[in-house]
Amino acid sequence: MDNIFLNKKLVAIHIKRFTGRAVPASAPNGALQVITMKRLKGDVAKAHRHVPKKRVTKLLQECLIVIKGKIRYDLFDGKGRRFKKVLVKAGEAMLILNVPHEVHFLENSLVYELKNGPFIDDKQFLQG
């Protein structure tokens, strides 16, 4: 995992590989919980449910999981200046915590996008 910082603040996490049986990639208090799982044949996640609890989030976080292809994230600071480019390949994921970003699809790609809901049209485009 590569943690990406802007002015000492964690703004994104590039998940490149599976490192253990169940490894959190995000902070436990984050809006979107991402865990990598490297499980063995025969492992069982015992039958369970999640009891409804009130959860309040103010920030939208998103995670793109690349199944096939290659994408590039351009990350921007608060003034709209790109400060980092991140290449994300098949089998990898990118968790955006709180940073303006742009996604370039460099190859024909199959990608899952996950984010906390409910959906609200909240995009604010950068000038450029």
The pTM assigned to this predicted structure is 0.84
> What pLDDT does residue 98 have?
87
Size of the chain in residues: 128
Residue with tokens 């490149």: 16
Residue with tokens 């959860």: 55
C-alpha separations of 73 from 6, 10, 12, 83, 108 in Å: 15, 16, 10, 11, 15
> What pLDDT does residue 103 have?
97
Separation between Cα atoms, residue 14 and residue 74, nearest integer Å = 12
Of the candidates 78, 83, 84, the one whose C-alpha atom is nearest the C-alpha of residue 126 is: 78
Domains of the chain: residue spans and CATH: 2-39+57-115 (2.60.120)
Separation between Cα atoms, residue 126 and residue 65, nearest integer Å = 24
Residue with tokens 């939208």: 60
Separation between Cα atoms, residue 110 and residue 101, nearest integer Å = 19
> What pLDDT does residue 51 have?
93
Exposure on the CB side of residue 42, measured as CA atoms within 13 A: 0
| pLDDT tens digit at each of 128 positions of the chain | 899 999 999 999 999 988 888 888 888 888 888 988 888 899 998 999 999 988 888 888 999 999 999 999 999 998 999 999 999 999 999 999 989 999 999 999 999 999 887 666 776 788 75
